[in-house]
Structure 1
Amino acid sequence: MPNSPAFIANSAPYGLTSQSRMESGVQDTQLSQKQGAVYLVGAGSGDPELLTLKALRVMQRADVVLYDSLVSEDILDMCALTAEKIFVGKRRANHALPQEGINELLVKHALANKTVVRLKGGDPFIFGRGGEEIQEVVRYGIFFESIPGITAASAAASRAGIPLTHRDHAQSVQFVTACKKLGAPNENYSELLDSTQTVVFYMGLHRLDEMTKGLIEAGRDGATPFAIISHASLPTQQVLIGTLKDIAEQQASASLPTPALLIMGDVVNLYGEFANYNLASLSQTLEVSCV
């Protein structure tokens, strides 16, 4: 990636609009001074080329980067060379730090007048606990900016050629997490029976058998198309297509690795229609021209 002014942040945006700054008595001249701030940055689904330009600008100005387990080495290499990189990743039953510890690090470094980048896989505000972290940051009077990333549902669906909505198949889409806070109630599968709605399950591969059985018992048609997309947007991406009734058995044989996303609904049938023409590397054939 070129190290040019186009990719270098020349100012530090914060979690206040101009209007709210005026109302709070905080002036732009004050914010231009060097002070600590937290940037919640969505790193997307893993493909470095799916990063936003704003994410890249901020990463290149970071003093400290707190990154998750789903952030690839290629993306980490785009951060400032002088940045301190701290792994705070959480995978199922394996947490480098508890959430409280991550919150403390964000606050500690920001209060030390450092530019802190919290680098998260996907989008920080979609099953990324970004809201919890910002609550802690704001509690200490620290300014922040949240920079969206391409969430796994968008990346997986696009790269697999499965549109999440389609006028002939699905008029709405629902995102569901299978990884819940301890003590939270189990899924109410009766809320997922609408055949005109696409349902996307995050972090659900380890509960695939349980969830598919629960959906069928609740009344969802066992013939409902179902897809598993593993390592979405990466060269190692794999797609498994089946039905609600047989997808768990197929996965038992195929053993697609995590991270993986699950998509349920009639739109999955379009995968077969598009598959022969869906080339993830097609953009690599384009020549770059500078205006």
Structure 2
Amino acid sequence: MMPTAFKPLVHGIFDPATWTVTYVVYQREGGECAIIDSVLDYDSKSGRTSHDTADKVVGFVRDHKLQVKWILETHAHADHLTAAPYLKERLGGQIGIGANITAVQQVFQKVFNLEPEFKTDGSQFDVLLKVGQHMTLDDGVGEIMDVPGHTPACVAYQFGDAVFVGDTLFMPDVGTARCDFPGGSAKSLFASVQKLLSLPHDTRLFMCHDYPPNNRPAAFESNVADQRANNIHVHDGVTEADFVAMRTQRDATLEMPVLILPSVQVNIRAGELPPAEANGTRYLKIPLNTL
């Protein structure tokens, strides 16, 4: 449980191109803040990056005179590139991710046959965060929760009554994340969800993505009571066996995310692009007939 209780202010910036929500979490105007799961705009047709979405974050932080202490990733995303280095350059802060990112780096170093200089020790990030480790925002204290399943390195961040769940949960009418990436596990995801849903019923849960069905507006805040009553995959009464069977069957029908190849290569580097080659250009790899 949290060492101190507080109700942080949360501002979400939704990127419709990747269905991703970036959060700015803070206690007061002019205080310290954390940025969670940022987005670097990427045009897959041209291979060009841009910063329109990240600049919205920069604008919000500056408008509210916030001091960035943390730039956090819930995991190495497979559906969007992180803008963490761009935000750090403009706003400061430390880039943090769960300590198990090293396992993900080891897998994808082999998948992409990355350069020999690429390290799989997580040293690309400023801080590797361990379960139960505390983070402060002014006089409020946050904590890291281990929630593997979608990937083996997924974490959630709890600041007071707000938990940022990454891809562990979606809005109740969307369900839960896939578990068929390397190291993923439907059994582990079920246990992670139960951990989140054992929190007090009024705990606010903030999703990293929303994929709105039935043309409803994008939404990204729920709570434990709503999830337990209404989540289409893990509402109360769903057993582990039920969930694993559903998730395994469903995952077998899903296509790979559109941006998985560029996203993973960049995100395991803490958002830095691959090193330039002899001609001064940076390149991403596309492994053929492997994923």
- Higher fraction of helix: 1
Q: TM-score, normalised by structure 1?
A: 0.31
